[in-house]
Structure 1
Amino acid sequence: MNDGRLQRFFWICAGTPVEIIEKYPTEHAKYFGIGATIFFTALFAALSGGYALYFVFAGAPFDWFASILFGIF
């Protein structure tokens, strides 16, 4: 697997220290998958939360900010 920025980003999303995971190449794909799962779960949570807030509050300006916070936490 290519050791690019995307891979490092997903490792960070998985909560793995990059310095440690670089020592174990057999674990790269596993933690890449874990990080991608966490990232896309948060992304879809932010999208669904944003739509719910938009629907409930009829398009108030703070909806998108609240949906991003919902996805992050």
Structure 2
Amino acid sequence: MSAKLLTFQPRPSERPEAMKHQSMQDFTQRHTQVSRVAIDGLLESGDPDDVISMLHRQQSWLAMMQDRLTRG
């Protein structure tokens, strides 16, 4: 017995460039919020592996990307 495999053909993007730009801004803002929640949880648990430091670096990068997206 064999099964026929279906191939996936992605659709070309139909979103205008402005919507792609807004989607990236939304993504970075949500990611920043999630990082803050993670930092709060790590502060409560003591952060044994120094993960907070890595999350702070990630938040700095996200802030830089948000600034670039805002400036266009």
Instruction: Report the TM range for the smaller structure's normalisation.
Output: 0.3 to 0.5
Structure (1/2) with the larger helix percentage: 1
TM-score (norm 2): 0.46
TM-score (norm 1): 0.46
Whose Rg is larger? 2
